[in-house]
Amino acid sequence: MGTAFILASFSTQIWQLVLTQGIMYGSAASFPYILGVTVPLQWIKRRRGLALAVVYLGSGLGGMWISLLTRTCIETMGRQWSNRILGCIMIVLGVGLSPLIIARRAAKQRPGKLIDFSVVTEWRFMFIAAAGFFAMGPNTIPYLLMPTYVADVLEEHSKLGSSLVTIINVSGIFGRFLAGMLADRFGPVNILIIWVFLAAFSQLGIWLPFTSVPAVIASAALFGVAGAAIVGMLLNALSQLFGVSRITYISGLIYMTYSISSLIVAQTTSLMLDTVGHGTDYTWPIVYTGMLLMVAFVILIVFKFKISRQLTYIV
């Protein structure tokens, strides 16, 4: 990952950025992310929601300080040296901390299949994967649209746009901890349903009808609380439903779904903004993002009642 950023600093053409920060960085970033999230689940049986919240705390804190550092470096040293500094930080931290990630191995465990597609045919996985497809795809849209929205529609300073990203990351820290603690008490699927609805409400109930700076700040904060915890709650639910023996492989399938969904949603949202919105009308991209989250909400409701029709059932 660090090498990708360093090589990107010497890029002078678009294809070079696609190769370095796109393919090279994207391929490398998937390995430590999945291992960093799934390995702790192998060691912890109780309070898995809280454990995942602590793990994702690093994501929130990292997103907070890296956005501030990047903005400061770009303003003072330019894009090239910003990429080099970030690349060196990634190499030092990655090489230094990687030996601390130790997977738990069960005694006398038979080696399993390298690729096992049997889980794909299980209805519980299909429901979670479908919900994840519609919920995780829009997860990056506020990060992309809100900074340009405040400049194009609200005509505010560009620093507000980067501050919104920081607000999402900071509020995400609180959202992950709260979701993790509640999931341990009421079940990850139950909390996931509420969090997906709150993420949809942040788009359709706050950002869409109110065109003002306080509204977009409130939307960013609520989306950070709810949206940031969705991925962790999905993994927590999968560990509860399938156990931890296959969680690394299953989470890889979920993140593959995440990648495909994010690519499709980002491209369609951008196309919608350019064609229907003519680059300045964000109405339909916001509606699109919120409706995708509502589809995920409905899928999770059906999944919940397919397991049990009792509203208080912990799942």
| Higher-scoring residue by pLDDT: 44, 218 | 218
Kindly indicate the confidence band of residue 259, based on its pLDDT and cuts at 50, 70 and 90: confident
Handedness of CA 234, 240, 244, 246 (dihedral sign): negative
Between 271 and 117, where is the model more confident?
A: 271
Q: Whole-prediction pTM value?
A: 0.80
Q: Residue 133, class by beta-carbon neighbours within 10 Å (0-12 exposed, 13-18 middle, 19+ buried)? A: buried
Mean pLDDT throughout 113-137?
A: 82
Residue 158: per-residue pLDDT: 65
Distance (Å, whole) CA 166 – CA 248: 30
Task: Classify domain 2-100+117-307 by CATH number.
Answer: 1.20.1250.20
Q: What's the pLDDT at 60?
A: 65
Res. 106: pLDDT tops 60: no
Please give the DSSP secondary-structure letter assigned to residue 9.
T
Rounded to 5°, the CA angle 272-224-195 comes to 90
Rounded Cα distance between 231 and 235, Å, is: 6
CB 227 within 8 A of CB 199: yes
- Kindly tell me the sign of the dihedral angle through the C-alpha atoms of 3, 15, 166, 138: negative
- The residue type at 7: L
CA distances from 143 to 4, 13, 43, 216 (A): 22, 25, 33, 12
Say whether pLDDT at 180 is over 80.
yes
What residue segments make up the domains of the chain, in order of their start? 2-100+117-307
Mean pLDDT of the chain: 83
